[in-house]
Chain A
């Protein structure tokens, strides 16, 4: 038997945007096993539901994570609305959809930049983040925040998108589409980039299914899973397909996410076109009683929100199952047999969001 050694990887590592620790069992340069450990940035946000009232908690839930922030606030509000049988006005549903897709776009651009940084293409990294800045500008124009929007409340939304703002969004989408098309060949056709991505970290469809993977990571392995197809918010009225790939390697994950940006652009364009006039929020009376279970599609995959309420302003329990948590098992599987030099890149390909995972 060859000599085995254990290399600690993280929580502080140049390639990791957030702290996660992996114990890598290696044999020569090949990974035999990866043992993850999380728990470096646990903040106890779920416990705050017992100390804050359910309206305040919408703001706390949103601050679970800085990148998927809108999704967390949205999922929490959906769960409370489900318990209290609140019918959200149609316009609010469309506004939520638009902001959700904008946040998905900026999250995917962030990921593309980090991926480029991961394989050492600094110029491409900055190009991605330059384009992302345009989306952030539009988000600040419409919501007042660049990554934390604070527009969701139980019953609807707090701010409207005026026709001028809708025009600004459409202009931004057109220019982002053009600029993304210019940099896509660097990701999909460049020889050096392909040599780092194609065939690296393959996860088969069966493995992805058995390990319960979620989001673009699972879709890149050929699993048709997209919670937006459940038709929450305005997704039921909009036309889009689930983007999948059958390769299951890092290249497929990159291509799936690039195509999802184009898909988000199309969804926002449809939503702005179809958005009806009307109220922004329904009136909320009384306190929630009961429990609810909501599944939504975050930029990183399926997130689950469980809320249990007891009829008082303070809830009993809130639980968030985040997509990164679901994907960690898949990550450890893809790491097996990989080169040590690819570990950083493979961790990036699941788009890890450790702040969400640990809350």
Chain B
């Protein structure tokens, strides 16, 4: 009669080290691909809103004029679809899970002053170039008219 078939395994367990780690005294280790949370290089963001349209949960908000990107981490399921859709590749999936909390708060990322200034300068430059091109075109047309 086969009784106590598990005794050898049980005895082994008495002398084995625990298989669990003593978290939080030992830090948790995540593999490189672990989908912990979404992070953004906000200064590279162009505010196109592709991530907002891709998100199945509607956890993202983008304001192009203000230069902000907002994520509700409690809604985010870290599927990574926004990362796949981002044309500038400024979004990425990082290791390390979202910490729990009592309130459903969202995290706001704002472009740095330099980035905003650089963007404003770029815009002004583009506007100036466009105005110049327009003026040149008009001058050319005027010249053609006078010639005719």
Contacts and interface: CB of A to CB of B under 8 A. Distances in A.
B146 interface: no
A57 to B, nearest CB: 8
A192 B35 contact: no
Interface string B66-79: 00000000000111
A290 to B, nearest CB: 23
Contacts of B10: 123
Interface string B1-45: 111111001100100000100000000001101110000000000
A185 interface: yes
B46 to A, nearest CB: 22
A337 to B, nearest CB: 28
Contacts of A191: 1-3
A56 B33 contact: no
A59 B56 contact: yes
Given A59-B56, A133-B19, A158 B84 contact: yes
Contacts of B5: 185-186, 189-190
Interface stretch (A140-148, A206-214, A304-312): A140-148
A189 B3 CA distance: 8
Contact of B54 (A56, A143, A148, A189): A56
Interface string B47-80: 0000000111000000000000000000001111
Interface residues of B, number: 25
A320 interface: no
B7 to A, nearest CB: 10
Given A59-B79, A185-B2, A185-B5, A144 B93 contact: yes
A127 B9 contact: yes
Given A59-B56, A183-B9, A190 B3 contact: yes
Nearest to A55: B81
Contacts of A158: 80, 84
Interface string A128-164: 0010010000001111110010100000001100000
A318 B96 CA distance: 34
A60 B56 contact: yes
Contact of B33 (A59, A127, A148, A159): A159
A69 to B, nearest CB: 12
Which size bracket describes the interface of A in this complex?
Answer: 20 to 34
Contacts of B13: 123
A329 to B, nearest CB: 34
A140 B34 contact: yes
Contacts of A124: 6
Contacts of A56: 54-56, 81
A63 interface: yes
Nearest to A184: B5
A182 interface: yes
Contacts of B55: 56
B33 A142 contact: yes
A52 interface: yes
B9 A59 contact: no
Contacts of A121: 6
Given A59-B79, A60-B56, A133-B19, A141 B33 contact: yes
B58 to A, nearest CB: 10
A343 B79 CA distance: 38
B56 A144 contact: no
A145 B2 CA distance: 40
A150 B84 contact: no
Given A59-B56, A144-B34, A150-B80, A182 B3 contact: no
Contact of B81 (A59, A141, A186, A189): A59
A140 B77 contact: no
7 contacts: A56-B56, A59-B56, A145-B34, A159-B33, A185-B2, A186-B9, A192-B3
Q: Can you list the 4 inter-chain pairs with the closest CB atoms, starting with the nearest?
A: A144-B33, A56-B56, A144-B35, A59-B79
Given A124-B6, A141-B33, A144-B93, 14 more contacts: A56-B81, A57-B56, A59-B77, A60-B56, A127-B9, A140-B34, A144-B31, A144-B80, A150-B78, A182-B9, A186-B5, A190-B6, A191-B1, A192-B3
